[in-house]
């Protein structure tokens, strides 16, 4: 339809190429650094590709810092937070999407307002509250914080998925004499399942990546999560051991990348369109 | 149980102004659905927020045996004369405005490119996942490797191109803030691009073709057809980005720790140090309150001005 001249086309490709380079080069550099032997890292003229690729950095990273324990802590916190967050958010999101009462408006208002408040205003009182509950320096306390912290977007996403489930299906089941609980469990829940999974995975990534709350709430190295332990590599004066640092940083990113790639496909699945036609 | 819609033909939306159940106010079953989320929200979000605002009017400190007392607006009076805090605040605004503006401009460009039929668009979409999914701490570490004065690729590339010897970007007084702003832009661009792309795909296609038939050039079509349709998305995404950027912490904490000489000490870093290094809870809470107030004012002015500007054209 729109006729685009040759020069304009070339300009578009040049611009796209710039974007591709800008997006990719830091990550490629991280990868390259992770596989470089120490001698090349100390060279004054670093090369784009490692000349003698090695996995020494990965071994060294595991020896220098308790990465496995940190990863286990991160995994526990993120899994618990994601499951609990979705568990408590799904029912409320259902109400928000289906009933237009004062309660739904208040919940929507909270979702919006909670985005505007700086963490520091929330973390000080939370710190004092959790201290009284003896939940400082414990993964349990961190999970509680992550649940509440991920609720706004979980509610937002889930309410959207509920709206996509046609009301007619629930009403048809009601005509057939099914009770309210039965309708929710055997009509709505299966249709919502992909959305619930996507939301849980998203909550998992945010908790896995989170740094600020973990930094404040976890004091001893045995309890600390992966992002906090990663900053230990930087050392006191910023004199970092670059190779192991890059290797550990790359490993910490892998789960997020994999999970994120999964959700992208999940979100595009159109389950509801088929359900109404039958 | 309502069955009013049961007779409606399947597959067609029945327009309705809210379900009858919603009009009656929440019943027992609704409360059962709502409470699991409501209790944590009240106890761990709304409560702490109010508690935090109250703390700003006290002399609360960490690890003190004497009981906390109300001090009225003393913290705010002290803040007024705290030059370091206002310097940090100025830096925070420079950072937030800089990152948000560049994020928007670059994301708009990328979204427009992705909205065409170019090849390699899939690659851009795939690559955009990386900044989005990556932990902020890793983004900071990665860019420290790029900026590294000796072993970094940036200085090496500059040397190869004959553009001088490069420099120590993150510890130079003049370069530190622009350097961290660039990282902020890189990290936030994908979300903005996806939002703007969704907005672009909702612009009416027919209008575009009509404008093209009338002989309107690309720029004119963008200004008269695309942009007006995009304004609501652009406003929402910019406002949210500004809030997030102003409250950002991990990126700069890892990149510079607030240095050199406080040149990148964002308000969040300042308040964090005040609260958890020096234990001044009350004072730090007052900082948080001032941050909320300023964000609200800036957003109100921005949104009001933009909405008015939209009506004029």
Contacts (Cβ under 8 Å, ≥6 apart) of A175:
B3, B6
Contact B127 A23 (CB under 8 A): yes
Closest CA to A242 of A30, A63, A47: A30
- The pLDDT score that the predictor gives to residue A236 is 54
Here the ipTM equals 0.87
Q: Which residue has the higher pLDDT, B85 or B30?
A: B85
* Distance between CA atoms of residues B231 and A179, nearest Å: 45
- The pLDDT score that the predictor gives to residue A269 is 37
Whether B136 is in a domain gets the answer: yes
Kindly state the average pLDDT of the residues B227-256: 89
Question: In which domain, by residue range, is B204 found?
Answer: 83-312
Residue B4 pLDDT greater than 50, yes or no: no
* Cβ-contact B169, B176 below 8 angstroms: yes
* Cβ-contact A212, B266 below 8 angstroms: no
- The pLDDT score that the predictor gives to residue A4 is 64
Contact B268 A118 (CB under 8 A): yes
Kindly state the average pLDDT of the residues A58-64: 84
Peptide bond before residue B260 is cis, with ω within 30 degrees of 0: yes
Helices and strands per DSSP (H, E), number in chain A: 14, 0
Task: Say if B303 is an interface residue toward chain A (CB within 8 Å).
Answer: no
- The pLDDT score that the predictor gives to residue B176 is 93
- The pLDDT score that the predictor gives to residue A266 is 55
Contact A253 B144 (CB under 8 A): no
Rounded to 10 deg, the angle between the B281-312 and B227-246 helix axes is 170
Kindly state the average pLDDT of the residues A93-99: 88
Residues 59-98 of B with CB under 8 A from A: none
Residue B12 pLDDT greater than 60, yes or no: no
In Å, how far are A241, A242, B153, B260 from A235, measured between CA atoms? 9, 11, 21, 17
Residue in chain A nearest B295 by alpha carbon: A116
Structural domains of chain B, count: 1
Confidence of residue B25 (pLDDT cuts 50, 70, 90): low
Alpha carbon of residue B79 to chain centroid: 25
Task: Say if A11 is an interface residue toward chain B (CB within 8 Å).
Answer: no
Q: Which of A80-89, B202-211, B231-240, B281-290 has the lowest mean pLDDT?
A: B202-211
To the nearest 10°, the Cα dihedral for B27, A96, A82, A87? 20
Query: Residues of A with CB below 8 A from B134's CB?
Result: 209, 253, 256-257
Residue A99 pLDDT greater than 50, yes or no: yes
Task: State pLDDT tens for residues B183-200.
Answer: 999 999 988 998 888 888
Task: State pLDDT tens for residues A186-234.
Answer: 888 888 998 899 899 989 999 999 999 999 999 888 899 999 999 888 8
Confidence of residue B301 (pLDDT cuts 50, 70, 90): confident
Whether B71 is in a domain gets the answer: no
- The pLDDT score that the predictor gives to residue A86 is 94
Whether B104 is in a domain gets the answer: yes
- The pLDDT score that the predictor gives to residue B103 is 95
- The pLDDT score that the predictor gives to residue A239 is 55
Residue B81 pLDDT greater than 50, yes or no: yes
CATH of the domain at B167: 1.10.3720.10
Kindly state the average pLDDT of the residues A175-183: 85
Residue B117 pLDDT greater than 90, yes or no: no
Contact A116 B243 (CB under 8 A): yes
Kindly state the average pLDDT of the residues B158-182: 86
* Cβ-contact A65, A87 below 8 angstroms: no
- The pLDDT score that the predictor gives to residue B294 is 85
Residue B28 token pair: 């027992």
Task: Say if B120 is an interface residue toward chain A (CB within 8 Å).
Answer: yes
Query: Residues of A with CB below 8 A from B49's CB?
Result: 117, 121-122, 125
Q: Which residue has the higher pLDDT, A42 or A83?
A: A83
CATH top class, domain A60-271: mainly alpha
Q: Can you name the residues that pair with B70 across neighbouring β-strands?
A: B58
Whether B121 is in a domain gets the answer: yes
Confidence of residue B64 (pLDDT cuts 50, 70, 90): low
**Chain B interface disruption, residue of A99, A185, A228, most B CBs within 10 A:** A99
Residue A28 pLDDT greater than 90, yes or no: yes
* Distance between CA atoms of residues B8 and A62, nearest Å: 63
Whether B209 is in a domain gets the answer: yes
Residue B130 token pair: 């990386």
Residue A272 pLDDT greater than 80, yes or no: no
Whether B244 is in a domain gets the answer: yes
Q: Which of A6-10, B67-71, B140-144, B276-280 has the lowest mean pLDDT?
A: B67-71
Query: Residues of A with CB below 8 A from B271's CB?
Result: 118, 120
- The pLDDT score that the predictor gives to residue B137 is 94
Of B135, B186, B289, nearest to A121 by CB-CB distance is: B289
Return the HEC string of A34-52.
HCCCHHHHCCCCCCCCCCC
Task: Say if B134 is an interface residue toward chain A (CB within 8 Å).
Answer: yes
Please give the mean pLDDT across all residues of chain A.
84
Whether B28 is in a domain gets the answer: no
Residue B265 pLDDT greater than 70, yes or no: yes
Whether B118 is in a domain gets the answer: yes
Min Cα separation A251/chain B (Å):
10
Task: Say if B111 is an interface residue toward chain A (CB within 8 Å).
Answer: no
- A·B CB contacts under 8 A: 291
Q: Can you name the residues that pair with B58 across neighbouring β-strands?
A: B70
In Å, how far are A113, B91, B170, B263 from B174, measured between CA atoms? 36, 13, 9, 8
**Chain B interface disruption, residue of A8, A49, A111, A118, most B CBs within 10 A:** A118
Min Cα separation A77/chain B (Å):
15
Kindly state the average pLDDT of the residues A82-98: 92
Confidence of residue B312 (pLDDT cuts 50, 70, 90): very low
Min Cα separation B128/chain A (Å):
7
Q: Where are the domains of chain A?
A: 16-54, 60-271
Residues 203-262 of A with CB under 8 A from B: 205, 208-209, 211-212, 216, 226-227, 230-231, 233-234, 238, 240, 242, 245-246, 249-250, 252-253, 256-257, 259-261
Q: Which residue has the higher pLDDT, A46 or A213?
A: A213
How long is chain B?
313
pLDDT above 90 covers a percentage of chain B that reads 30
């Amino acid at each position: 339809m729109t006729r685009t001249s040759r020069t304009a086309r070339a300009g578009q490709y040049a611009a796209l190429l710039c974007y591709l380079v800008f997006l990719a080069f830091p990550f490629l550099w991280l990868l390259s650094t992770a596989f470089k032997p120490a001698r090349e890292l100390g060279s004054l003229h670093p090369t784009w590709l490692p000349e003698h690729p090695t996995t020494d950095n990965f071994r060294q990273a595991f020896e220098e810092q308790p990465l496995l324990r940190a990863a286990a802590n991160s995994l526990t916190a993120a899994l618990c937070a994601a499951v609990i967050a979705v568990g408590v958010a799904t029912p409320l999101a259902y109400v928000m999407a289906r009933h237009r009462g004062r309660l739904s408006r208040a919940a929507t208002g909270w979702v919006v307002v909670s985005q505007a408040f700086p963490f520091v205003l929330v973390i000080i009182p939370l710190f004092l509250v959790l201290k009284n509950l003896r939940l400082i320096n414990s993964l349990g306390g961190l999970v509680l914080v992550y649940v509440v912290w991920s609720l706004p977007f979980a509610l937002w996403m889930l309410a959207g998925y509920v709206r996509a489930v046609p009301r007619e299906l629930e009403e048809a089941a009601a005509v057939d004499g099914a009770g309210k609980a039965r309708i929710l469990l055997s009509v709505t829940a299966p249709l919502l399942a992909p959305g619930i999974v996507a939301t849980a995975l998203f909550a998992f990534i945010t908790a896995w990546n989170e740094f600020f709350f973990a930094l404040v709430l976890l004091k001893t190295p045995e309890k600390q999560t992966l992002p906090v332990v990663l900053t230990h590599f930087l050392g006191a004066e910023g004199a970092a051991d670059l190779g192991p640092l890059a290797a550990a940083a790359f490993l910490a990113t892998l789960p997020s990348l994999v999970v994120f790639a999964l959700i992208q496909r999940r979100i595009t699945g159109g389950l509801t369109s088929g359900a109404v036609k039958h | 149980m309502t069955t009013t819609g049961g007779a409606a033909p399947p597959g067609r939306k029945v327009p309705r102004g809210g379900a009858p159940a919603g009009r009656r106010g929440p019943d027992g079953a609704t409360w059962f659905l709502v409470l699991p989320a409501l209790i944590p929200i009240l106890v761990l979000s709304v409560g702490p927020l109010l508690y935090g605002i109250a703390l700003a009017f006290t002399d609360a400190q960490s690890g003190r045996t004497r009981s906390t007392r109300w001090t009225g607006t003393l913290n705010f009076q002290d803040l007024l004369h705290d030059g370091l805090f206002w310097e940090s605040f100025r830096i925070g605004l420079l950072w937030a405005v800089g990152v948000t503006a560049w994020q928007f401009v670059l994301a708009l460009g990328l979204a427009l490119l992705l909205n065409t039929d170019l090849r390699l668009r899939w690659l851009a979409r795939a690559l955009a996942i990386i900044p989005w999914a990556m932990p902020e701490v890793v983004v900071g570490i990665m860019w420290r490797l790029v900026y590294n004065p000796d072993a970094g690729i940036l200085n090496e590339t500059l040397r190869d191109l004959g553009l001088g010897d490069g420099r120590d970007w993150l510890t130079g007084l003049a370069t530190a803030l622009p350097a961290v702003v660039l990282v902020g832009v890189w990290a936030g661009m994908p979300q903005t691009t996806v939002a703007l792309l969704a907005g672009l795909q909702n612009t009416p296609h027919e209008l575009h073709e009509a404008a093209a038939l009338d002989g309107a050039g690309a720029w004119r079509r963008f200004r008269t057809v695309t942009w007006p349709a995009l304004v609501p998305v652009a406003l929402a995404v910019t406002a949210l980005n500004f809030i997030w950027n102003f409250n950002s912490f991990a990126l700069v904490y890892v990149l510079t720790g607030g240095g050199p000489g406080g040149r990148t000490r964002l308000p969040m870093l300042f308040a964090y140090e005040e609260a958890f290094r020096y234990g001044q809870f009350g004072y730090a809470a007052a900082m948080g309150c001032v941050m909320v107030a300023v964000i609200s004012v800036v957003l109100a002015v921005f949104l009001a001005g933009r909405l008015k500007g939209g009506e004029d054209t």
